[in-house]
Structure 1
Amino acid sequence: MVTLQKMNTDEFQRYLDTAAADYAKEKVSAGNWEEEESLQKAKDEFSNLLPDGENSENNYLFTILNEKNEGAGIIWLARQSPEKGFIYDIRIKDEYQGKGYGKETMKAIEEKAKQLGMNKIGLHVFGHNKIARGLYEKIGYKTTNVVMEKEVL
């Protein structure tokens, strides 16, 4: 069983310190960005999405707590419209992966979304992240768009 607790300033800063770098690496891996510019682009995106940090309007950043009240990861839900939310990030710490924490966290965030008046949640998953894609499909998420790319040399 997991509990979602609103992220405090220290937790947010720790999250931000690693999230931008990780996001930049994912964008480079996916072939979307060049490595030299990736970190600055990632930082800019985070600044635009979260201008007031963890207190940015229509953004809900949570620390995922396990049954012992230990941090097991984070999840970030944003309101895109009055009825629709979007999960910008979910991170389960390595030692908790493969133990049901991802599935439990998704159930918990769906409950939070309902409490906030949302009736739909979207998310993005990189094509190479097969484990996450499998989880999302298993719990009822459907593919709505597919972007494909080919290098022509």
Structure 2
Amino acid sequence: MRIEPMNQATYESYLPVAIEEYAADKCRAGTWSENESLEKATEEFAALLPEGLKTKDHYLFTFRDETDSDIGMVWVHVAEESRGRSAFIFDVKITSDKQNQGYGKKALRSLEVILKRMNVKKISLHVFAHNERAIHVYDSLGYEKTDYHMSKRLDVSH
């Protein structure tokens, strides 16, 4: 497996899909309503990546297998913190035809190698509670739970 900087064409096809998926996840989590979710997701992405692939301290990578086929991608932000450099994974995806084959773990391990070279001491991420497959992968790679956000819907009768 190879990890390489994402090219502009891949970024342009990634962005609208990522915005839609993020909007849907925020709805499913109960954070946003459907009628506002796409607009809010678009605004968040625009604020986080104002210069697209050239946004300072944001790195978007593509994962490729030995046949040069696209396996997936990752978007990470690197920042200086009081305890050293840290990275936050904003998005990581493995293409649907490559899921459940160990590529996600390999991809994240490849990212770790790059981040260590960048003197990053800690990697963090957010995962939606309904994404049990991702939670399993992160647990198996040694990620620790650091916060819980919990909600209770009051408009549903029990």
Q: TM-score range by the shorter chain?
A: over 0.9
Within-5 A mapping of 1:67-106: 67-81=66-80, 83-106=85-108
Which residue pairs with 1:38 in the alignment? 37
Within-5 A mapping of 1:3-152: 3-81=2-80, 83-152=85-154
For residues 12 and 151 of structure 1, the distance between their equivalents in structure 2, rounded to whole angstroms, comes to 36
RMSD (CA atoms): 0.9
For residues 79 and 100 of structure 1, the distance between their equivalents in structure 2, rounded to whole angstroms, comes to 25
Structure 1 runs of 4+ off > 4 angstroms? Answer: none
SS at match of 1:72: strand
For residues 9 and 148 of structure 1, the distance between their equivalents in structure 2, rounded to whole angstroms, comes to 38
SS at match of 1:121: strand
- CA shift, 1:56, in A, is 0.6
Computing the radius of gyration from Cα coordinates, the structure with the larger value is: 2
Amino acid at match of 2:138: Y
Q: For structure 2, which runs of at least 5 residues remain unmatched after alignment?
A: none
Q: For structure 1, which runs of at least 5 residues remain unmatched after alignment?
A: none
- CA shift, 1:80, in A, is 3.2
Over the matched positions of the two proteins, sequence identity in percent amounts to: 37
1:18-77: CA deviation from partner (whole Å, max 9, x where unpaired)? 000010000000000010010010011101110100111001101110111111111111
- CA shift, 1:17, in A, is 1.6
Amino acid at match of 2:143: Y
For residues 142 and 151 of structure 1, the distance between their equivalents in structure 2, rounded to whole angstroms, comes to 27
- CA shift, 1:151, in A, is 1.5
For residues 97 and 67 of structure 1, the distance between their equivalents in structure 2, rounded to whole angstroms, comes to 16
Amino acid at match of 2:58: N
For residues 63 and 54 of structure 2, the distance between their equivalents in structure 1, rounded to whole angstroms, comes to 17
SS at match of 1:103: helix
**TM-score for both structures, normalised by structure 2:** 0.94
Equivalent residue pairs, number: 152
